[in-house]
Structure 1
Amino acid sequence: MRFTAEHPVGQQGCAPQLYQGDGLARFARATEDAGFGALAFTEHPAPSLKWLERGGHASLDPLAALAFCAAATTRLRLLTYLLVLPYRNPLLLAKTIATVDQLSGGRLTIGAGSGYLRSEFGALGVEFEERGALLDEALDVLRELWTGESYVGEGRHFTARGQVSVPGPVQLPHPPVWLGGNGRNARRRVARTAQGWAPLLIGDEAAATTRTAALKSPAELKDAVDELREMLADAGRDPATVDVQVQSRQSDFPGKPGGSLEEHRHHVGELAEAGVTWFVVRTSGADVGAACDALAAYGRDVINAG
C-alpha cells in the first residue's frame, strides 16, 4: 500500500499560508519526508457560490500547483485528483501536462474524470451532456499525440491537421492516467485505456451529489475491483499493472474524536485485502505547522509503522 496526501486547500477554514508559496513548499516537503508516495490537488475552476455554500470547496489550479511542488521536492509523485478533462481543449491540456512532467522529471500522474457540476460546465462554455464523449476524446488525444511525428484528428470542437506537441512528457507514451468514478462505465474505461482507477468509498447521498454509484464498504469495493480485474484480463492486460486508489471517511487524519489509530490501520488493511494499492489521506488545514505535524505523525504511525 502507498499513500497520497491531498492538499487541505479544499477544507473549510484552510489557512491561507498553506496555499501560498512558503507554506505550500513546506507542506510538499513534509509530505515527501513523511514517506507519502504522492501529493494531490483537486480542481474546480469556476464553481458556483451556491455549491460552495452547500459544502463545496476551494481549489488551486492543480497543474500549476503541482508544478510549484515539483520544485520543492525530488521523489514525490504529483497527482491531479481529479482533473476534469472535458473542461479543456485536449491539445492545450497535453502541452500543460508535458510541461509539468518535464519540470518534475517524470513524476506526474493524471487523475482524471468527466466532472459533475452542471453550472461549472455552463460557466466554462462546455456542454454538460457531452462530458463523457469529451473525456473519451481527450484520453485518445493524450494517448496518440506523442506516439507519432504529428497528430491528425477531427474532434468535437477542434481540428488537428498535423499538429505537434514538443517537447513531450518524460514518461512515454504519456504519464499514467488514473480515472475516477465508481460505476461500471468508469471501470470499462480503465480496462480500455488507463493505468489506474480512483473510486470513492461513499454512500448514496454523496454518490448522488457527485453523479456516480455508491460504494459503501470494503466488501463492495472488493467486488468492483474483482470485476475490473476480469475486464483487464479480457482486454489482454495484466491486472497487476493497474493501480487502485481509494478515498474514504477514514481518509481524514487525525480522525473524528473517538476514533482510534488501531481502527484506522484495520481499515487500511481491509482496503489492501480488497485490492487497493493507494490510499488518500487528508490532514488538518488549520495552519501550516498542524498540517505538517499530521503528515509526520501519519508517516510514523501508519506508513512506516511496519
Structure 2
Amino acid sequence: MEGKNYTVVTEFILMAVTRNPYLRAMLFIAFLLLYLFTLLGNICIITVVLMNRNLHTPMYIFLSNLSFFDIVYSSTTVPKMMAGLVMEVSKIHVKNCIIQIHFFHFFGCTEALLLTTMSYDRYVAICNPLRYNTIMSKSVCLQLISSCWIVSFAYSLTHTILTSMLPFCKLNQVSHFFCDIKPLLNLACADTSLNETLVILITGFIAVSTFCLIFLSYALIGAHLMKIRSFQERRKAFSTCTSHLTVVLLYYGPLTTRFLRPATTDSLEQDRQTAVLYTIITPVLNPIIYALRNQEVKMAVKSKIWGLKVVQN
C-alpha cells in the first residue's frame, strides 16, 4: 500500500444479531434475562462454596472458579451484543476491540483448562480415593488454578499482539456481534496467513489436547468402575462426574470445530450462530446443571436459603 492513499480505521461497526426490529426487541429481553440469570446463578454457587466449609474441597474450589469465569466470559461479549440490538449502529474503538479479543480468549481458554483440571480431580477422587487428600492438597489445587491462568494469559496475549499489529483500512464492518480474531482478519490490509495459521495451530492444539485429556481421565474412570462389582457403588461414584461431563459436552460441542475452520463467509455465518450458544446459553446452563445434579450443592443452597441443616451421607 506504499504510495497509495488509504483511510486508517479507528472504529469498527459490529453486526447486530438480526435486523428485524420486532426480533431485536424480543432478543434483547431474552438476552438480558439470560445474562441476569447467568450472573445470579454463578454468583449463588460462588457464595455457597465460600460460605459452606463442607464445600472447601478441590472439586468445589474448581467449581467456584468455573462459575467466576462463566460470569466474566459472558460479560466480555453479551453486553455489547445487547447494545447492538438497541442501537442503530454499534461501534467499538479499535483498541477496545483488541482488548475484547484478549479477554474473550483469555477467559475462554482458562475455562477449557479448568474443565480439564476438574476431570483430573474426578479421576483422582474415584481411582485413588485413599490418596486423594495427599495428591489434591490445597497447594496443588492452587498451583493447578494458577497454571490455568498463566497458560491462558500467554495464549491470549499471543493472539492479541499479532492481531494488534495488523493494519486496518477502508473496511470497518465486523461480520460478528462482537470482536473476534477471524472476522478482523477479513478486514486487515495485510497478509494474515501467519495469524490464521496460529489460530488453527495454537487454538486447535489447546482444544484438542484438553479434550483428549478429559477423555483419557474418563476412560480411566470407566475402566476403574468396571472393576467394581456393586452396581450401586458404580452408580454412586459415576454420579459425581455427570455434572462435569454434561458441562464438558456443552462447552466443547460448539467450540470443537469453531477455530479449526478457515475464515470463509460460510464459516463466519456458522460462528455467529454458535456464538449465541457458548456466550449466552452455556454460562446459564452451568449453574443449573451443577445445582440439579449435585446433591451437596443442592443441600448447601437449601441450608442458606431456608436454614435447613445439611445432612452429610
- In the superposition, the TM-score normalised over structure 1's length comes to 0.24
- In the superposition, the TM-score normalised over structure 2's length comes to 0.24
User: Which structure ranks higher in relative contact order (CA pairs < 8 Å, sequence separation ≥ 6)?
Assistant: 2
Structure label with greater radius of gyration = 2
